[in-house]
Amino acid sequence: MNRDKPDRWKEDTARSVDMYNDWFIALAPEAFRNTRIKATKAVAGTLKATENLTNIKTTVLRANPAVLPTLRMSTCPPLAVDRLVGLAGVGKNLVGCMEEGKLPPLMAERELEIQLQKISHTIEKLADPDIFVWLGREKSPSLKELYRAATIVADRLCSSVANPIIRNAQEQRQLALIAAWLKARGYRQLPTGEGTRFNAMRPGTFAFHLNVPAKQEEGEKIINITIDAVVMPKNTSSGDLPLLIEAKSAGDFTNVNKRRKEEATKIKQLRYTHENRMVFVLFLCGYFDSGYLGYEAAEGIDWLWEHRIDDLAEFGI
């Protein structure tokens, strides 16, 4: 479709960049705002659990491990996970578990208490007095001060995960476009989570976020590779495999060239397992330059552009 037509890459990249930028200006702020509203509520919950950041004792951290991301953003300067691990001198496993809202189930009780004390001491020492203006004074914070602090910390939380927020919103939009295109041509979407197997899909159906088993090339270990969109064309014969589509979007050229090996690894494992019978394509929108495209083409991976979504028909759909 596109990997053997390098004379078109430059023009397509320019059109794709324009499309991504138009979407970003129109819709990304809304996605970010919605996430910030949720984050503000989470921060408010953390303030309540810690008595407005005046009680960060180990008993509080034990009962509310999920407060840690908010606490990291409540310091001056805000702390990344690895920075907290280094400053507090605690295990990365503990911090990682708390980031997921839980405590390590196998950590010895005494060691857990010691490490939680270190986290507590670090957060208390670095808590930002310009945000939490009531720290160190006798007067309790006003509702206005609490709301302002919660909003600031929520902004910090959102900023720290801005790229994932945008990628998630873009993926949802891209999959919605694919679904609309397929349904307009009589395809039926299979519900998620009903045990759908990629090699047992009926012709004229499609599914999102479906696991496809593959072997790692180093051995016989089976792993599941989650594919964004799996489509079984209408005109298929018994034993045919579906088309696999990976939705990709990017807001800068640097990041895609860091991540370009991901797709190459996937296709190698899929081909190794399914004897080159698997058709795997990328659905691109955004900043994908000749360096990225050339790398994927060399790996035998084809793609279609969102600004030419009708090219899906060229894959037998």
Contact by Cβ (8 Å): 189, 205: yes
How many angstroms separate the Cα of 268 from the Cα of each of 212, 215, 263, 278?
13, 10, 9, 10
Residues 129 and 205 in one domain: no
Distance from CA of residue 314 to its chain's centroid?
30
CA atoms within 13 A on the CB side of 46: 27
Q: Look at residue 69 and tell me whether its pLDDT is greater than 80.
A: yes
* pTM of the predicted protein model: 0.68
Q: CA gyration radius for the chain? A: 24
Residues 75 and 169 in one domain: no
Strands (E), the chain: 188-189, 205-215, 222-232, 243-250, 279-286, 302-305
Sign of CA dihedral 67, 68, 70, 76: positive
Residues 44 and 119 in one domain: yes
Per-residue pLDDT at 245:
96
Query: Residue 196: which of 206, 185, 182 has the closest Cα?
Result: 206
Query: Distance between CA atoms of 137 and 129, rounded to whole angstroms?
Result: 11
Q: Single out the residue in 113, 144, 161 at which a domain terminates.
A: 161
Query: Distance between CA atoms of 124 and 79, rounded to whole angstroms?
Result: 13
Name, in order, each residue with C-beta under 8 angstroms of 167's C-beta and a sequence gap of 6 or more. Answer: 249
pLDDT tens track for 181-220: 999 999 999 987 666 788 889 999 999 999 988 887 666 7
Per-residue pLDDT at 84:
95
Is 187 a domain residue? yes
Per-residue pLDDT at 173:
92
Query: Distance between CA atoms of 79 and 25, rounded to whole angstroms?
Result: 29
Quick one: what percent of the chain has pLDDT higher than 90? 56
Q: Look at residue 28 and tell me whether its pLDDT is greater than 80.
A: no
CA atoms within 13 A on the CB side of 56: 26
Query: Distance between CA atoms of 311 and 314, rounded to whole angstroms?
Result: 5
Q: What mean pLDDT is predicted for residues 306-313?
A: 95
Residues 212 and 293 in one domain: yes
Which range among 44-58, 168-182, 214-228, 285-299 shows the weakest confidence by mean pLDDT? 214-228
Q: Domain range for residue 215? A: 6-27+163-315
Quick one: what percent of the chain has pLDDT higher than 70? 97
Q: Look at residue 51 and tell me whether its pLDDT is greater than 80.
A: yes
Q: How many domains does the chain have?
A: 2
Per-residue pLDDT at 195:
65
- Of 222 and 219, which is predicted with more confidence? 222
The structure tokens 């309790």 sit at: 140
Q: Single out the residue in 129, 161, 193 at which a domain terminates.
A: 161
Q: Single out the residue in 114, 134, 161 at which a domain terminates.
A: 161
User: What sections of 224-277 are H helices per DSSP?
Assistant: 253-259, 261-274
Per-residue pLDDT at 27:
76
pLDDT tens track for 250-282: 888 877 777 788 888 888 888 888 877 888 999
Query: Distance between CA atoms of 184 and 177, rounded to whole angstroms?
Result: 11
Residues 85 and 135 in one domain: yes
Query: Residue 3: which of 303, 310, 226 has the closest Cα?
Result: 303
Residues 258 and 173 in one domain: yes
Contact by Cβ (8 Å): 217, 223: no
Q: What mean pLDDT is predicted for residues 31-41?
A: 79
